[in-house]
Structures are given as C-alpha cells and as structure tokens.
C-alpha cells in the first residue's frame, strides 16, 4: 500500500476513494472497503482511502476525545490487509478544518485526488462548520464526472456497528461482543521494549509492549494470544493498566507473560489479541501479595485455554 501524507496539488491518476477515520477498522469500515474494492476493480482504478491524523475530535477537544482503538500504524496495516492500494493521511489542523465544503470538493477531491468514484458513510460531514454532506457531494457529481454512494449502517444483533460501540464493549470487559463488532479479536500491537524487569524478579518475566498513548479502551488482566514473537501463535497472560502496586502515578503499560516461551524478543513488533478479561486491575499491599495473585491469574488463564480447546474439539467431533 502506498502511503502519502496530505493531498497532492494535482493527482497523478484517477482513483476510487472512500473517506473516514477508520478507528478500529470494524465491520462497518470493512463493508466500506469491500465496496471500494468492487468499484476499483469494476472501473480499473486504484483503491484509495483518505483518513485523518489526529482524529478531528482530538484536535478540537483533546481532553474529551474518545480513546483510540488503533494507532495510526495499526490502522494502516489493517487497511492494507483489506486490499487498499493507496492511503492519504491528512493532517487535521485549522487549515483543513476551515476549508469550505465546496473547496473541499473542488480542490481536494477533484483536483488533488481526481476521484471517479466516491463512497462515504451515511452520516459523513465535511468542510467548515460541517456544512457538506452526501447530498452536496451528489449535487456536484455530474459536474465533476464522479459516482458517489453512501454506505448505510451495518448492524450486528440490532446494534449499529461503530467505533463507539466497540469502545463500550471493551470498557465493559465484553471482549466477545467487541470481537463480533470488529470481525476479529481486539488487539494492540507494538515493539517489545526493556521494562523495569520486575516480572522477572517475581518469577514471571514479561514482554513489555510499547504503547503509543497513555490511554487504552480496556484495562485489567486478560487471557491473550500473541503473534510476532515466534513463528507460531503464543498464549499468555497480559496485564494492561497503571500498575498501582508498583507506582502511585503509573503510566499505561501492557505486559505479557508468555507460556512455555523463554526467548528474548526485545525489538520485535508483536500483536496482542485480547480474548477474555479475567479481572480488574488491583492494588496490593506488597509485591509478595502481587506475586501470589499473578500465580493465581496464570493458572486461571491456563484453565481458560484448556476449557476453550476442549470445547472446540467437541464441536469439531460433533
């Protein structure tokens, strides 16, 4: 996938385009990408996505903006996995926010990208004061020779699939629900960095995963599967939170204890898939109490995997 920062002054080729924040790349986003792929194939055009960094709500009200489901890298990797040929990452700032809706169409969509097919969500708004909408895009379509379509909401169990719905499920510890909305388990990826070596001292050495933000949509102790640490998928126990037993004012930290794995993996980029929440994060009176609880957590998570595997085998046998 070709990644471009911003929009060129003039396009090098016509494209089929869809626009959105794509936080989480959930089932609703995936439906848009499927339509994009079909249109690009039908028209013989590169499939192209326009997205924004930072999220507009982070720009206008950073203290009130929702926590991200995916980092920019994770989002781009997911877009590439769904067949997107080009991604334009537009810096959201006052200059972009102040562009009139008409100028957005003429200067960015038509001149800068040369769209021949355009798809947006049914609630898409653009331009200064959010003045532009699907109807406006449709009004200009004949003049500038592009097709435009709006994708209706995707529903799962009578709930509209959205990034907000995914965040709500994750915050409540409903990881199965979040996975249904995402079409896959929720994951966090990052590079393994050297931590404080506390886990090793407690008898449970952990991989410390670098976090891009000091916020996460979920916290607690989890059963996880990890990709990227070895050739096979590994199982483990993860702690995601502020580590209140260790620090009074901790920083968001993701640590993973990998079962039956002793290799040093500093520097590797791994993906942690969250399968089940075991409990909330707690503060303990001392490190010895924390160590005993970690042992209990590890045994509980191993039992979860054993039970899940047994159920899977019974299902196959039937």
Cα–Cα distance, 60 to 316 (Å, whole number): 51
Mean pLDDT, residues 42-52: 97
Q: Is residue 156 predicted with pLDDT exceeding 70?
A: yes
Indicate yes or no: pTM above 0.85: yes
> What's the pLDDT at 196?
81
Contact assessment for residue 218 and residue 200, using Cβ atoms and an 8 Å cutoff: no
pLDDT the model gives residue 31: 95
Secondary structure letter of residue 129 according to DSSP: G
Average pLDDT along the chain: 93
Percentage of the chain beyond pLDDT 70 is: 99
| DSSP letter string, 100-151 | -HHHIIIIIIIIIT-EEEEEEETT--BSGGG-B-HHHHHHHHHHHT-EEEEE
Sign of the CA dihedral running 72, 76, 77, 79: positive
- What per-residue confidence (pLDDT) applies to 80? 97
Residue 318 confidence (pLDDT)? 61
317 sits in the region (left: phi over 0; alpha: psi -120 to 50; else beta) called: alpha
Cα torsion 290, 295, 301, 304: sign: negative
Helix (H/G/I), strand (E/B), else coil: 306: helix
Nearest-angstrom CA–CA distance, 148 and 120? 8
Token pair in block for residue 40: 């690009």
pLDDT tier, 313 (very low <50, low <70, confident <90, very high otherwise) = confident
Q: What confidence tier does 55 reach under pLDDT thresholds 50, 70, 90?
A: confident
The pLDDT tens digits for 209-253 are 998 777 899 999 999 999 999 999 999 999 999 888 888 777 899
Query: Of residues 245 and 155, which shows the higher confidence score?
Result: 155
Q: Is the pLDDT of residue 314 over 80?
A: no
Task: Report the candidate in 53, 57, 118 with the shortest Cα–Cα distance to residue 90.
Answer: 53
Residue 236 near residue 254 (C-beta atoms within 8 A): no
pLDDT tens, position by position, 63-104: 888 999 999 999 999 999 999 999 999 999 989 989 999 999
Across residues 26-53, what is the average pLDDT? 96
Please report the pLDDT score of residue 40 as a whole number: 97
Q: Are 224 and 297 in contact (CB under 8 A)?
A: no
Confidence band (pLDDT; 50, 70, 90) for 317?
Answer: low
- To which H or E segment does residue 166 belong? helix 163-171
In eight-state DSSP terms, residue 3 is: E
Residue with the two structure tokens 């090793």: 200
63 to 21, 118, 214: CA distances (angstroms) = 18, 33, 13
Between CA 179 and CA 158 the distance in angstroms is 16
For residue 316, pLDDT over 70 is answered with no
- Residue 186, classified by CB atoms within 10 Å of its CB into exposed (0-12), middle (13-18) or buried (19+), is buried
Which helix (H) or strand (E) segment is 80 a member of?
helix 72-81
CATH (residue range 186-317): 2.40.30.30
Does the structural domain 2-156 have CATH classification 3.40.50.620?
Answer: yes
Collapsed DSSP state (helix, strand, coil) of residue 149: strand
Residue with tokens 């792929």: 37
Tell me the C-alpha distance between 253 and 274, whole Å.
15
Domain ranges, ordered by start, for the chain: 2-156, 186-317
């Amino acid at each position: 996938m070709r990644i471009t920062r911003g929009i060129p002054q003039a396009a090098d080729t016509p494209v089929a385009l869809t626009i959105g924040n794509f936080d989480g790349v959930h089932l609703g986003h995936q439906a848009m990408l499927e339509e994009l792929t079909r249109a690009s194939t039908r028209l013989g055009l590169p499939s192209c996505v326009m997205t924004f960094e930072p999220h507009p709500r982070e720009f206008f009200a950073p203290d009130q903006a929702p926590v991200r489901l995916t980092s920019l890298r994770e989002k781009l990797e997911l877009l590439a996995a769904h067949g997107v040929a080009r991604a334009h990452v537009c810096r959201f700032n006052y200059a972009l926010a102040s562009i009139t809706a008409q100028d957005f169409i003429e200067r960015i969509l038509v001149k800068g990208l040369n769209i021949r097919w355009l798809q947006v969500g049914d609630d898409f708004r653009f331009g200064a004061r959010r003045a532009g909408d699907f109807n406006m895009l449709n009004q200009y379509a004949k003049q500038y020779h592009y097709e435009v379509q709006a994708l209706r909401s995707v529903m799962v169990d009578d709930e509209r699939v959205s990034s907000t719905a995914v965040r709500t499920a994750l915050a409540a510890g409903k990881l199965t629900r979040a996975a249904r909305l995402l079409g896959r388990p929720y994951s966090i990826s990052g590079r393994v960095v050297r931590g404080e070596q506390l886990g090793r001292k407690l008898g449970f050495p952990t991989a410390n995963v670098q976090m891009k933000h000091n916020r996460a949509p979920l916290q607690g102790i989890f059963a996880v599967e990890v990709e990227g640490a070895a050739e096979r998928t590994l199982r483990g126990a993860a702690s995601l939170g502020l580590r209140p037993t260790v620090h009074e004012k901790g920083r968001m930290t993701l640590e993973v204890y990998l079962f039956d794995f002793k290799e040093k993996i500093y520097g590797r980029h791994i993906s942690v898939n969250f399968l089940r929440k075991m409990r909330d994060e707690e503060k303990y009176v001392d490190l010895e109490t924390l160590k005993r609880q970690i042992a209990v957590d590890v045994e509980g998570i191993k039992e979860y995997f054993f039970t899940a595997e047994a159920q899977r085998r019974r299902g196959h046998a039937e």
